[in-house]
Amino acid sequence: MKAPGFTGGIVDRADWLRHDAAALEKVRRDPRAKLLDLNGLDPVLVEDRLGWTPLQTVDDGEPLILLGLIDDVAHFTRLDPQPADGARHGGIFDAITRLPEWEAALYAAARSVSDWHKRHGFCARCGHETAPFRAGWARKCGNCGAEHYPRTDPVVIMIAEHDGRALLGRQASWAPGRYSALAGFLEPGESIEEAVARETLEESGVRVANVRYIASQPWPFPSSLMIACVGEALDDRITIDPNEIEDARWFTRDEVRAALAGDPDAPFGAPPPIAIAHTLLSVWAGVE
């Protein structure tokens, strides 16, 4: 199986540095230390690699997020990266797919944590302002002392299989012809297997059992963990929920392989390689 997008990181997250102010200050003062270049939350590429700025250009007092160590060199990103003047947005997925796997993984962490800081300036318990600590991996309330940590939201993404065919669906907002795995957020009090069964039933009317885990990926828009699974459908009758999806159909392995290969005669358009749905379909169809 090809590693899912946004996985394959090589950075040492160096949790110990987050708890050791003196050691953190030392790596921050290292002239080799680097700051990730961002345009807002989007990456800034230099010849298809992530761009970095020497950390000495940053004000000493500015709190930063320690992404970790690579060959003992500290790599940081800003808590609230600002849009670059005159820079154009768009094309972020095109940019990400040009990056080496480990850089896409590092970018995913930077984006998710920065985005979390932007949205968590106030305490969820008492409403007072919070401030960053633990090298940017937590915030603390200045009033009640509550500690808040970046969250990861689990999402199940799954194929139901029946008689050699896979159930895929599409949302009205997607590109014409695109079909992909069904997906939905786990709810409190559910196991992964239960969430797969519930979401498949809600969206398509298909009941599944014997759910098996395939792979996972972080998805930093803003903070999901995609958990890819396959379940066995108990029958093949489809009753879609039109509030969730526009259509759902069964596709054979040959049809899925044709779509993954980009065959113009394929009966549907496959999700892009960076999405774990692509990984999931590849595993199910026996590609790679």
Which residues form the interface with Zn ion (CB under 5 A)?
123, 125-126, 128, 141, 143-144, 146
- 186: tokens are 């786990």
Smallest gap, in angstroms, from Cβ of residue 279 to Zn ion?
A: 40
Nearer residue to Zn ion within complex by CB, 54 or 121: 121
As a whole number of angstroms, the distance between CA 253 and CA 285 comes to 5
Nearer residue to Zn ion within complex by CB, 109 or 123: 123
Nearer residue to Zn ion within complex by CB, 141 or 155: 141
Q: Are β-strands 73-78 and 34-36 bridged in parallel, bridged antiparallel, or unpaired?
A: parallel
Smallest gap, in angstroms, from Cβ of residue 134 to Zn ion?
A: 17
Angle at 176 (CA atoms; ends 170, 180), nearest 5 degrees: 30
Neighbours of 167 (CB within 10 A): 25
Smallest gap, in angstroms, from Cβ of residue 123 to Zn ion?
A: 3
Nearer residue to Zn ion within complex by CB, 116 or 179: 116
Nearer residue to Zn ion within complex by CB, 121 or 177: 121
- 228: tokens are 């890819």
C-beta separation of 281 from 216 below 8 A: no
Supply the DSSP string of the chain, one letter for each residue.
-PPPTT-----B--HHHHT-HHHHHHHHHSTT-EEE-EETTEE-EETTEE-EEEGGGS-TT--EEEEEEETTEEEEEESSPPPPTTPPP--HHHHHHHS-HHHHHHHHHHHHHHHHHHH-SB-TTT--BEEEEGGGTEEEETTT--EE----EEEEEEEEEETTEEEEEE-TTSPTTB-B-EEEE--TT--HHHHHHHHHHHHH---EEEEEEEEEEEETTTTEEEEEEEEEES-------TTT-SEEEEEEHHHHHHHHTT-TTSSSBPPPTTSHHHHHHHHHHT--
Nearer residue to Zn ion within complex by CB, 9 or 150: 150
Smallest gap, in angstroms, from Cβ of residue 175 to Zn ion?
A: 44
Nearer residue to Zn ion within complex by CB, 24 or 141: 141
Smallest gap, in angstroms, from Cβ of residue 140 to Zn ion?
A: 9
Smallest gap, in angstroms, from Cβ of residue 19 to Zn ion?
A: 22
Smallest gap, in angstroms, from Cβ of residue 125 to Zn ion?
A: 5
Smallest gap, in angstroms, from Cβ of residue 147 to Zn ion?
A: 10
Nearer residue to Zn ion within complex by CB, 123 or 183: 123
